[in-house]
Structures are given as C-alpha cells and as structure tokens.
Amino acid sequence: MKTLTELEKRFGITFAEKDLLEQAFVHRSYLNEHPKFHLNHNERLEYLGDAVLELVVTEHLYGNYENPEGDLTSWRAALVNSRTLADLAEELDFNTCLLLSRGEAKDMGRARQYILANTFEAFVGALYLDQGYEACKKFIGAHLIKRLPEILEKKLYRDPKSRFQEEAQDRVGVTPTYEVVKEWGPDHAKTFRVGVYLEKELVAEGEGPSKQLAQEDAAQNGIEKKKW
C-alpha cells in the first residue's frame, strides 16, 4: 500500500499542509466507522477541485484549438468525466491511499470508480489550496491533458450511447434498447443497473446514480465487449 509521502515523491509535489492532502482521500463512509477521526470527508475539496479542473482544461482547449464551442465542450466532457478521472486515479495509485469503510473497501465495482473520480477532484482541490492555480495546471497538464490526443484520434468524446447505436445499426442492423435490471439505495442516493440489449441479446450492463448515466455506462461497456 502506497503512502501519501510516496505519492508526493511520485508527483514531485510536497504539501505544506499535510492535513489537506490526507483529507482529499477521506471518503464519507470512513467517518461513519471512525467518528472521532481528526479530519472531515473530502466532499468540499471535491467541489473546489471540480471547478479548478474545468477551468484548467477549458483554458487549455481555448488556447490551443480554433474549433467552435460545441466541439470544445464535448472534448472537455470526455476529459473530465467520471470514467476518465477514475481510470487516471487508479493509474496514479489513489486506490491504495483511500480511507473507506470496510464495506466500501470491498466494493471494487462501479461505485469505486465514482469514489476514485471524486478523489481525483478532491486532490486537485487540496493542491489548489496548498500551492495555487499554477501547480494544479502543471499537475493536470502532466497527467490528464496528455490523454486528449487519444480522445480526439479515437473520437472518444462522442456520447457512448450514440456511438454504440451507430455501430450496432451499421454492423448488425439493430437499434439498442435499455432496461433497468436493478436499483437500490434510498431515494436521495439511488444506484441503477441497466442492461443494453440488441434484440434479445444482453450485451452488457452498466451502473450509475441515474438511469441516464447507467445507460451511458452500459453503452460504453457494450462498445468494449463488442470491440467496436
């Protein structure tokens, strides 16, 4: 398991306020089991980091591409969506530093992806408070924006449902349909599992906090499963 100090060394960053760095990795569930823990959860840092992240990416796109607003908006969405951020957070070993409840620690599915994406945003928020905008710009440029050429080359900025539908119609002459397979959790925090079908064939399933996001997840999983 990596320590936060090891993460700092990997990134070439030294936090002046170590509590800010640690708080970025504190999930709400951890405090349910450790109510006397000396730090709060990371949701406020996540809120701040989300705004910083969007600004850095927007500034980069605006300064480097002459494309119209619609293109830039799609590209930005592909860079900062939960799947991209979760993949990056996992690549950066954020998983090993998370403070989670025992139940959340066992769940390595879609819920963990959302936690990782939110943790990445929280880390950016912590970095902003500790070292300012330029440090965030350098970090995001080194680790996230470098993914942009692949996104553009493979047209990953297009909505997964649209991509899957076009491929399915072109390849097999079928329009995909979606069906909620399962839902759970309280009304204010539901999780949905949705299946995407080609006629009667269940191609893949996806999860998300809304039916729309679960459908997008299922479509993306369908693209990967079909190797489209």
Contact assessment for residue 130 and residue 15, using Cβ atoms and an 8 Å cutoff: yes
Task: Compute how many other C-beta atoms are within 10 angstroms of the C-beta atom of residue 112.
Answer: 19
Which entry of 22, 46, 50, 104 is annotated as an active-site residue? Answer: 50
Q: List, in order, residues 6 or more apart from 131 with CB less than 8 Å away.
A: 13, 15, 16
Pairwise CA distance, residues 107 & 101, whole Å: 10
Contact indicator for 207, 217 with CB cutoff of 8 Å: yes
**2 in helix, strand or coil?**
coil
Quick check: 46 and 121 in contact, CB under 8 A?
yes
Q: Is 121 a catalytic residue?
A: yes
Catalytic option among 22, 104, 121, 207:
121
> Cα–Cα distance between 194 and 188 in angstroms, integer?
19
Where does residue 46 rank: exposed (0-12), middle (13-18), buried (19+ CB within 10 A)? Answer: buried
State whether residue 191 is helix, strand or coil: strand
Q: Which tokens go with 174?
A: 């079928």
| C-alpha closest to that of 192 among 200, 201, 180 | 180
Q: Is 71 a catalytic residue?
A: no
Active site residues: 50, 121
